[in-house]
Structure 1
Amino acid sequence: MSRISETFEALRSRGEGAYIPYVCAGDPNREFSLRAIQTLCASGADIVELGLPFSDPIADGPVIQGSMQRSLSAGFKVEHIFDLISRARSDGVNQPVVVMSYLNPVLRYGVPEFVRRLAGSGGDGLLLVDVPLEESEAIDRLAAENGIDTVKLVAPSTEDSRLGNILAKATGFVYVVSVSGTTGTRDSLHDDALGLVSRVAARSRVPVALGFGVSKPEHVSAAMRAGASGVVEGSRLISLYSDSLGNLEAGLSRMAAHARQMKDATSLR
């Protein structure tokens, strides 16, 4: 059983869902990214989703686009993400780490070497947001050979006939996208998103996590009631420090307080 699967199993036995914060690696610098991971893991994060910056992040909204641009401007390279994960492990971070990336930087680096180094650094999962299911077989096989889970996306536009194929290939967990469009905070979760969670959870053999727009404890509670096993949050977290880049310590404090509130809302009891 993978570390991701073990985490969800332990949470289920305690009557909790998974809080999965997303941060873009290298924003605004590598040292802050390490501290952000440490802070979030000490404040309730069950799994960390670590974004690999890319120059054309078509699935992301302005907050994450800005985060990626700051990281790239600071000189972040693909190989730095492996060092970041290794350092987090050396500093006592035990939570699973899933790297979320677009395909282009992984291809340029070399898929076999990327997967090998991800596993060697202590990474646990890989989510490639723009790889069609029909083209993922070789990457999925390499990942499995290296003990890396491959997280798959389900969107509101996903048809039932295609959903079965996605669920058959997903390992670790399935990431349900709450809305068509890009990442970003939203005031509420639409009933259609919660209905999609319920539909996917009823058919999935792996846990289901809801993302895109999750930013409030009440969003977490609603997702849990709908059948989600976890939630992914990114844009709101990033804004807690990016709105005041001149005072990153205060940003870390805000992230910690917010993470605790979000984690508390995952209780299923």
Structure 2
Amino acid sequence: MRKSMSRYENLFAQLEAHQEGAYVPFITLGDPSMALSEEIIEALIAGGANALELGMPFSDPVADGPVIQAANLRALAAGAKVAQCFALLKRVRARHPDLPIGLLVYCNLVHAKGIGDFYAACTEAGVDSVLIADVPMRESASYRAAARQHGIAPVFICPPDATTELRQQVAAASEGYVYLLSRAGVTGTGATLSLPAHEALSELKAFASAPALLGFGISQPSHVQEAIASGAAGAISGSAVVSIIAKYQHQPNLMLSKLTDFTLAMKAATRKY
């Protein structure tokens, strides 16, 4: 069993034993600065985050809505560089040896470093998984091969309206977890949550999929409860977390406190009893 897979597998096994789902916050590395970004990660972990999904700052994040787009621009304006992101990840890994860490990137960033070199850098930094947001399944073979060569779990998005054939492909190709979308479109928050049909989760399980985490629109504890009640193994929350960073970016101590409190509330909602 590869080391990169064991962190996710161990996490999901432990959560199942405790009758809990996973809560996974997302942030963009370097937002609002590289130093604060590292403190933000620690605040999220202190609040009980079970794993992290971290975005590499990119100038054209097409899968993201305005909140996370703005986070990318803030990070780039503050001078965030890919090398700095990997150095930060290495420090986080040293402090948290068992925490699953996933990256969400765009393919230009992978190609800028070279596919093999990018995944090698992920391995060196202690990254567990990589999701390339703008690479569809049909174009993913070279990325999957490079990921597996370097012991990195490839993760793919499963749209809510995916065909049975696509669900089967996603289940076969994804390791660590599957990113199951609650709705079509881009990332964002809302008062109500659109849940995928139970059919999607049932089919993924029938195809021996890695556990499915529900994302897009997860912005409050009730959404986490609904996601887990629907059969998902957990929930990913991005825009709601990033909104707190944006609102309090000039009040860092208050921001960190708000992030920890938000994470505590979201994590509490993963408990099934």
TM-score (norm 2): 0.94
Matched-pair contact (CA < 8 Å) for 2:33–2:75: yes
Deviates more, 1:83-92 or 1:98-107: 83-92
- The residue correspondences of 1:190-269 to structure 2 (distance < 5 A) are 190-192=194-196, 196-269=200-273
Could you say which residue in structure 1 is the equivalent of 2:71? 67
Displacement after TM superposition at 1:149 (Å): 0.7
Match of 2:83 among 79, 96, 100: 79
In percent, how many aligned pairs have the same letter? Answer: 36
Give the 3 Å change call, closer, same or farther, for CA 191–142 of structure 1 in structure 2: closer
Could you say which residue in structure 2 is the equivalent of 1:99? 103
Q: Which runs of 5+ in 2 are unaligned?
A: none
Q: Letter of the 1:24 partner, please give it.
A: T
Give the 3 Å change call, closer, same or farther, for CA 82–188 of structure 1 in structure 2: same
Displacement after TM superposition at 1:198 (Å): 4.9
2:60, 2:52 → 1: CA distance? 23
Matched-pair contact (CA < 8 Å) for 2:164–2:203: no
Please state whether the residue corresponding to 2:24 is helix, strand or coil: strand
Could you say which residue in structure 2 is the equivalent of 1:58? 62
1:193, 1:102 → 2: CA distance? 28
1:248, 1:241 → 2: CA distance? 9
1:193, 1:183 → 2: CA distance? 19
String of CA shifts for 1:137-165, please: whole Å, max 9, x gaps: 12112211222111110012311122111
Q: Letter of the 1:256 partner, please give it.
A: T
Please state whether the residue corresponding to 2:160 is helix, strand or coil: coil
Give the 3 Å change call, closer, same or farther, for CA 238–186 of structure 1 in structure 2: same
String of CA shifts for 1:159-199, please: whole Å, max 9, x gaps: 11221111111100000111111101111112446664455
Displacement after TM superposition at 1:230 (Å): 1.0
String of CA shifts for 1:81-116, please: whole Å, max 9, x gaps: 210111112334641110001111111111111100
1:47, 1:193 → 2: CA distance? 25
1:15, 1:105 → 2: CA distance? 38
String of CA shifts for 1:51-101, please: whole Å, max 9, x gaps: 011111111011100000000111111122210111112334641110001
TM-score (norm 1): 0.95
- The residue correspondences of 1:64-213 to structure 2 (distance < 5 A) are 64-92=68-96, 94-192=98-196, 196-213=200-217
Give the 3 Å change call, closer, same or farther, for CA 76–108 of structure 1 in structure 2: same
1:185, 1:8 → 2: CA distance? 26
User: Which 4+ stretches in 1 moved above 6 angstroms?
Assistant: none
Displacement after TM superposition at 1:268 (Å): 2.1
1:96, 1:12 → 2: CA distance? 16
C-alpha RMSD of matched pairs (Å): 1.5
Matched-pair contact (CA < 8 Å) for 1:183–1:213: yes
2:164, 2:96 → 1: CA distance? 42
Displacement after TM superposition at 1:224 (Å): 0.6
2:72, 2:209 → 1: CA distance? 33
Q: Letter of the 1:38 partner, please give it.
A: E
1:240, 1:193 → 2: CA distance? 30
Matched-pair contact (CA < 8 Å) for 1:195–1:226: no
Please state whether the residue corresponding to 1:39 is helix, strand or coil: helix
String of CA shifts for 1:222-254, please: whole Å, max 9, x gaps: 111111001000111111121122101101100
2:191, 2:202 → 1: CA distance? 21
Could you say which residue in structure 1 is the equivalent of 2:49? 45
Please state whether the residue corresponding to 2:104 is helix, strand or coil: strand
2:241, 2:139 → 1: CA distance? 32
Q: Letter of the 1:210 partner, please give it.
A: L
Residue 17 in 1 paired to residue 21 in 2?
yes
